[in-house]
Every structure is written in C-alpha cells, then in structure tokens.
Amino acid sequence: MQQETSTSAGLMNRFEVTKRIVGMLKAEEAVIGGIGNTNFDLWATGQRPQNFYMLGSMGLAFPIALGVALAQPERNVVALEGDGSLLMQVGCLATIAMVAPTNLKMIVFDNGMYQITGGQKAATGFGADLIAMARGAGLAECAWAADENDLEEKFARALATPGPFLIGVPTDGKKAVATTDRDPPRLRESFMRGIGAK
Amino acid sequence: MLAVEGRGSVADAGWHETLIEVFKGAGISLVTYVPDNVLRPLIDGVHADPYFNVVPTTREEEAVGIASGSIMAGVNAAVLMQTSGLATLANVLASLPSVYQIPVVMVVSERGVLGEFNRGQALVAKTMRPILDSAGVDHCTIRRGDELRFMAERTILQALYTRTPAALILSPLLTGGKTIKK
C-alpha cells in the first residue's frame, strides 16, 4: 500500500522490525503487543516471558503499557501498536505526553489499512500522519523511521534516554507470520511472572 | 434560571474520605479517571494525597487499560467515572479485565435516577447493570454511609481474591447525586 504521509523511503516488514526490536532488548524490558497482527508478529519472534499479548481491547496497547510503566518505573516498557488501533484511541497520546513516563517507548506500525479485517484503507492511508498528531498531542520525541537501520538507531536512543518516545514505522502489507495462542489467563500469568509481579 | 448542584441534602458528607481509606487498605495507589462532578471530592482527595499516582484520561477505555497494566505490574488500581462513561466500556471490560482476570476496581457515580433532569442520562443508566452483568464484572450499589466501608472493603477484597473486575456504584442516596435547582 502506498504510504503518502510517513516517508519516501521503502516500507518495512512488521515481523522483521519486531524481531530487530526484540533483539535489542537486554534488560528484561516489558513489551506490550497491540491487537491482531501486531501481537501475532510479536508472538512469532519467540515468547519472551516479559511479553504481553493483547487480544481484544482494540487501541489499548499504549494505555496498558503506560500502566505497566507507572507501576514499574525502573523497567523500560516497549509498546507495539498498529495505525488503525492508535486512530481509535488517539487521545492516549495526549495522556502519555501529559504524564511523561520516563520509561515508555512506543512503536506504531503504519500500513495505512485495517489489514486483519480485509485490508480496508484507514485514514492513515489517505494522509493522516500519526507522528504529526503525536507531536500535536505534546510528545516531543516522535519521528518516522526512514529504514531498518534508522529505526535501530532511533530505538537505541529511546531505550537509553529518559522520556516517552514514539517511532513510526511505514509498514508493508504482508500478513503476520504466526497466530498468538488464545489463552488470556495464561498470557497474563506468564507476563506477570516475567516482570516479577507474581 | 436553573442552577445545577453537585450534591443534594441526603448524603454522607464523608463518603470520599472513607473510600480513600479503603483504597489505601487495599493497596490501590494508582487512580485513573474521567472527570465527574459528583465524584469531585474523591478526585480532589486523591490528587491532594501523595499516596496516590493519579492519571486523568481522555476516555474510560483508556483508564481501564492503564489500570489493567498497573495491576499486572504489581500495583493495584481504581478507575473513577460516571454512569455514561461505564456505558462506553462493554467491549473493553469483556475482552481485557474479565478474560485476562485482572481485578480492576471501578467507582461509578450513579446518574439517571432519583431526580435526573436529562432523559439521555436516564436511558443510559438502564444499560449500566446489564453491561456489568454480561461482561462478567461483579458490582454492588452503595446507598448508605453506615454500609459504605464494609461494602467497599469486601467488594474490593473479593475482586482481588477472585481476580475479577468489580464496580462500586455510588447511589445518589450516598453522595447526594446531581440535581437541578430552581
């Protein structure tokens, strides 16, 4: 799908990017994967105990991650979300900018469509720019990644620098490479043990 | 000219102080909310108390998400809202705290009953308990000041023991509610 707002560079693949991001985590960072393909691809990178897979509440990956970040301020929390989901709960960007958690690092995969429901074009596919919206919400540290190397540089800086960050990833239209197990209590239990809350 | 008042005359003036004590007893130190006039003394109370980390949100769904994350990370949390806010939550309650077994505690000021002046509020109030029942959320309605502490403490305790989200519905009989005055 054509990216009209995010970048002129090539599109990245969600699974490949997720693999790179997870590969950069060395301090038991929590990772919250948003609904659908976002958490499916996170699942496909291997089930780290610090991963949480959100199956139903569309739009809540960033708010859940904010809650984890506030409860465990010493641990970096990484949130992975899709463009359609973020559009649905876009007010959370203003909340996150206001609260300004030092340890919340957000990624939004923007393929310009609602991929899992049949590829209907989202407003992001017509020009809505989520990074510009985040900046307007008061998030100072937000930018589109130009390519995989730029993404790694930006994510490394986000992990090393206090404050909320949002990195936009112009994403291709490939489907997720796996499907998350549908067992919410087990997913929650595993996550809580993984981050030392149980 | 009609004036809208936040509190009526049949109320327990200290209900919000009691709830703050109950929150502390349950280790609830994160409070998220969407503003409400009836809950204002409770909102002001948690803001003024350094024990609490308080996050105002743009929507009730977002507030439930933040509370869910906090509870999974080891810090109990409550969400404050009014009746119309609860009515926005059916999908989120069913698909996050209920199925993941996250004991989110909600405090809902009851509108739409006992002297409501807005027909929309009266209608939306009828959806509240059916939503809670069908989404798997335990709830109780608190009407009396002398029952407040016991009901709030035990309902929250049960939520934590059974890993079930719960709602404390605060009747206008307790808070005074919101009335219109000539």
Domain coordinates in residue numbering, chain B: 3-181
pLDDT exceeds cutoff 50 at B7: no
For residues B75-99, one letter each, b for 16 or more C-beta atoms within 10 angstroms of the residue's C-beta and e for the rest, the string is bbbbbbbbbbbbbbbeebbbbbbbb
Rounded to whole angstroms, the Cα distance separating A150 from A91 reads 27
In a domain, A23, yes or no: yes
User: Cα distance from A10 to chain B (closest Cα, Å)?
Assistant: 33
In a domain, A4, yes or no: no
Rounded to whole angstroms, the Cα distance separating B89 from A194 reads 28
Mean pLDDT computed over B63-91: 98
Beta partners for B82? B109
Question: Measured at the alpha carbon of residue B57, what is the angle toward residues B52 and B60, in degrees to the nearest 5?
Answer: 105
Nearest Cβ partner for B61 among A59, A188, A198: A59
Strands B76-82 and B28-33: parallel
Nearest Cβ partner for B70 among A59, A70, A196: A70
In a domain, A175, yes or no: yes
Strands B105-109 and B76-82: parallel
What are the tens digits of pLDDT across the range A37-59? 999 999 999 999 999 999 999 99
For chain A, the residue count is 198
Chain B residue numbers with beta carbons less than 8 Å from the beta carbon of A182 are none
* Domain count along chain A: 1
* Count of CB pairs separated by less than 8 Å, A with B: 123
Name the token pair of B23. Answer: 């929150």
Name the token pair of B100. Answer: 């993941």
Under an 8 A CB cutoff, do B72 and A72 touch?
no
Under an 8 A CB cutoff, do A95 and B57 touch?
yes
Name the token pair of A162. Answer: 């206090």
Chain B residue numbers with beta carbons less than 8 Å from the beta carbon of A195 are 72-74
Under an 8 A CB cutoff, do B99 and A184 touch?
yes
Name the token pair of B122. Answer: 């009266």
CB contact at 8 A, A19 and A142: no
What are the tens digits of pLDDT across the range A62-120? 999 999 999 999 999 999 999 999 999 999 999 999 999 999 999 999 999 999 999 99
pLDDT at B31: 99
- Which residues contact residue A105 at a Cβ distance below 8 angstroms, ignoring those fewer than 6 apart? A76, A77, A78, A79, A155, A158, A159, A164, A165, A167
Rounded to whole angstroms, the Cα distance separating A167 from A146 reads 10
pLDDT at A4: 43
User: Cα distance from B58 to chain A (closest Cα, Å)?
Assistant: 6
In a domain, A107, yes or no: yes
DSSP state of A182: -
Beta partners for B106? B79, B167
Rounded to whole angstroms, the Cα distance separating A138 from A140 reads 6
- Asked if B58 is an interface residue toward chain A (Cβ–Cβ < 8 A), one would say yes
Mean pLDDT computed over A120-140: 98
Look up the CATH number of the domain holding residue A18. 3.40.50.970
CB contact at 8 A, A54 and A82: no
Nearest Cβ partner for A95 among B62, B75, B94: B62
Predicted confidence band of residue A170 (pLDDT cuts 50, 70, 90): very high
CB contact at 8 A, A116 and A36: yes
Q: Kindly identify which residue of chain B lies nearest to residue A93, measuring between CA atoms.
A: B58
Q: Distance between alpha carbon B103 and the CA centroid of its chain, in Å? A: 14
In the predicted model, what is the mean pLDDT of chain A?
Answer: 95
- Asked if B30 is an interface residue toward chain A (Cβ–Cβ < 8 A), one would say yes
In a domain, A5, yes or no: no
Place of tokens 């102080």: B17
Predicted confidence band of residue B1 (pLDDT cuts 50, 70, 90): very low
Under an 8 A CB cutoff, do A70 and B30 touch?
yes
**Residue A178: how many CB atoms within 10 A of its CB?**
12
Q: What percent of chain B lies above the pLDDT cut of 90?
A: 90
- Which residues contact residue A146 at a Cβ distance below 8 angstroms, ignoring those fewer than 6 apart? A7, A9
Rounded to whole angstroms, the Cα distance separating A32 from A53 reads 6
pLDDT exceeds cutoff 90 at A8: no
- Asked if B70 is an interface residue toward chain A (Cβ–Cβ < 8 A), one would say yes
Name the token pair of A187. Answer: 């997913």
Place of tokens 């008061």: A138
What fold characterizes domain B3-181? Rossmann fold (3.40.50)
pLDDT at A9: 54
CB contact at 8 A, A36 and A80: no
- Which residues of A lie inside 8 Å of B (Cβ-Cβ)? 30, 32, 52, 54-60, 62-72, 89, 91-92, 94-95, 98-99, 184-185, 187-188, 191-192, 195-198
DSSP state of A171: B
**Residue A24: how many CB atoms within 10 A of its CB?**
13
pLDDT exceeds cutoff 60 at A183: yes
Domain extent, residue A118, equals 14-194
pLDDT at A1: 39
Q: What string of DSSP letters covers B70-126?
A: HHHTT-EEEEEEEHHHHTT-HHHHIIIIIHHT---EEEEE--SSSS---HHHHHHHH
In a domain, A9, yes or no: no
ipTM confidence: 0.96
